Chains A and B, each alone.
Chain A
């Protein structure tokens, strides 16, 4: 079963002039949204409260029926099909988890597979698999009731339920809005990991721009009536907000937020001379002298950063490696964001921290200078890319208008 199931990844979603008009109000709540979402992409709808982002999301699975416009999923027009059948093909996770309090965790997760008529044995297997997937021990959790879980655990079960029938599309309506910041951070990391494995098409609503940057492949910044102010990659929105509304929403510290998007592995890591505990003392002395004032990084037997050694340290400790030098207090992994790295460098008394690999082994060093340089380069590159992108966009638009004009004339000739 696994193979055919795994192969299913996301589906494309197209929204065509999607509009919601409530009776009695003159202005539509959502005004002709056009959006194309690629298969396997995570798109975040972000905007101030009341901008219609939730309404837009809920029109995709038709919990709110659109007044006009079309919805296509994987090319199929689903605007008029049976909404109940449609929803069984779309995962749905909401704030406060929406778990049914009178059902156990396992029963909650089994709901959609049960409704779609899976055989019992397969449902059971699937429930265990899903609990595993969201990081909950099936044996411990499957018979529990929702009120016996913490907020974060409930949210995990909510995501497991949404994914249980392996839908290609997952809609998430501020799913992490009601949990504490630390748990939210964990859940976001988990979602990133899940998405890395599953490649679903995810549409995610939030009002938290930082969450949007962290999770989104692309972000749609919405203003009132769901008008799209900008729909682009997080990098582009941070470095080149299309107007005052977007830059206002991005908020202060866009450059700092940009640091969250790049990992230490992507920037230049420097090398410093290293010695290990097993090297003879004489060699260490020589190296220190040769380097003229620079430091040595002493590694332990697993090649993990252990101590910084300076000239004179050894003399003062009377030649004992155990007592010489200062312990390495901060280090970052290669997967750490530049923001984490900057934090560590700022906290470190000498303004440099070792970078470690997966098992904690020494890989290199970052310091203030290299970090600043790479950040400058990044921002510059983003700016260039955004300019180019804008240029391309204008060109293609000009091209389109021209084509339309021509085809208009051609059409006029025919009859």
Chain B
């Protein structure tokens, strides 16, 4: 899983205003513009790799003899169900992460709550520094087993990147811009909606992307607490000592993670406000 130092590196990299000043007007939204986070190569390359991996695994698994246990574990229905559960877990947990982390991040950068920010970050950090499997195991003592427990664990785990990126994004805004916005007569809500949030969007989105990928990863652990998902196939593979089952489950999980990251990068590209591109 993504560790602390690496994450900070990524934050720092995103905060960097891009280095070279834009000499010539940058009008195009082309991803090849220097300073973009997503290169054209990656845009095309990632889906091709995913497709190749999936097709290859499919051809391999349908063309070798399987024993009954393997056939059961890898029947179309079982795989489809596991995949669907996994996607649902990711979607739901991400939804809750957004609903919790973004408003919380906004609230913690407002003046009345600014002092509480370190406490909140510390708690969120705690959620992430516990190993995810340990967190899930602990949660089962409290909530029992099932998809609900898995969901709580995933949310606790993924809140931090979104929360900290929201806060960093809002704090990194040039104070003179907020001053100007207030000075020309925007209300506090207007400043937030029209100036602060749009300017923080790139960083918030980076956090969301991070959270999504984390969620796909943590989602595979849901299998351990009977939460369903691709983790079930992987655990089956381990328990019944069927490596092929294990491989199919893992390939699917990896492909899903890459796909989600790719989709998120598209969204990032689409949602970054114009005028902020090379920055």
Q: Does A162 contact B (CB under 8 A)?
A: yes
Q: Does B7 contact A (CB under 8 A)?
A: no
Tell which of A145, A162, A171 has the most Cβ of chain B within 10 Å. A145
A102, B198: Cβ atoms under 8 Å?
A: yes
A96, B190: Cβ atoms under 8 Å?
A: no
Q: Does B187 contact A (CB under 8 A)?
A: yes
Nearest B residue (CB) for A148: B25
A63, B179: Cβ atoms under 8 Å?
A: yes
Question: Beta-carbon contacts of B162-203 to A below 8 Å, as 1s and 0s?
Answer: 000000000000001101111111110010001100110000
B182, A87: Cβ atoms under 8 Å?
A: yes
Q: Does A357 contact B (CB under 8 A)?
A: no
Nearest B residue (CB) for A85: B185
B275, A115: Cβ atoms under 8 Å?
A: no
Pick the contact of B184 from A103, A104, A111 — CB < 8 Å? A111
State the interface size on chain B (CB cutoff 8 A). 25
Question: Beta-carbon contacts of A135-172 to B below 8 Å, as 1s and 0s?
Answer: 00000000011111000000000000110000000010
- Given A101-B199, A102-B198: A145 and B275 interface contact (C-beta under 8 Å): yes
Q: Does B31 contact A (CB under 8 A)?
A: no
Pick the contact of A115 from B26, B185, B195 — CB < 8 Å? B185
B185, A101: Cβ atoms under 8 Å?
A: no
Q: Does A209 contact B (CB under 8 A)?
A: no
Q: Does A126 contact B (CB under 8 A)?
A: no
A98, B275: Cβ atoms under 8 Å?
A: no
A98, B176: Cβ atoms under 8 Å?
A: yes
CB distance from B263 to the nearest CB of A (A): 23
Residue numbers in A under 8 Å from B133 (CB-CB):
none
Residue numbers in A under 8 Å from B183 (CB-CB):
61, 63, 87, 92, 94, 98, 171
Bound complex: CA A71 to CA B181 (Å): 22
Q: Does B274 contact A (CB under 8 A)?
A: yes
Bound complex: CA A138 to CA B151 (Å): 54
Bound complex: CA A146 to CA B279 (Å): 12
CB distance from A100 to the nearest CB of B (A): 6
Bound complex: CA A241 to CA B275 (Å): 49
Q: Does B131 contact A (CB under 8 A)?
A: no
A115, B186: Cβ atoms under 8 Å?
A: yes
Residue numbers in A under 8 Å from B198 (CB-CB):
102
Tell which of A86, A88, A98 has the most Cβ of chain B within 10 Å. A98
Residue numbers in A under 8 Å from B187 (CB-CB):
84
Nearest A residue (CB) for B181: A100
Q: Does B22 contact A (CB under 8 A)?
A: yes
CB distance from B75 to the nearest CB of A (A): 51
Task: List 20 A-B pairs, Cβ < 8 Å.
Answer: A84-B186, A84-B187, A87-B185, A92-B183, A95-B176, A98-B176, A98-B177, A98-B179, A98-B183, A99-B180, A101-B177, A101-B279, A102-B275, A102-B276, A104-B275, A112-B185, A115-B190, A145-B275, A147-B278, A162-B184
* Chain A positions near chain B (C-beta within 8 angstroms): 61, 63, 84-92, 94-104, 111-112, 115, 144-148, 161-162, 171
| Extra pairs beyond A94-B183, A102-B276, A161-B184 (20, CB < 8 Å) | A61-B183, A63-B182, A84-B187, A86-B185, A87-B183, A88-B184, A92-B180, A92-B184, A94-B179, A94-B180, A98-B177, A98-B179, A100-B180, A100-B199, A101-B199, A101-B275, A115-B186, A146-B275, A148-B22, A148-B26
* Chain B positions near chain A (C-beta within 8 angstroms): 22, 25-26, 176-177, 179-187, 190, 194-195, 198-199, 273-276, 278-279
Listed from nearest, the 4 A-B pairs whose CB atoms lie closest are A98-B180, A145-B275, A88-B185, A92-B183
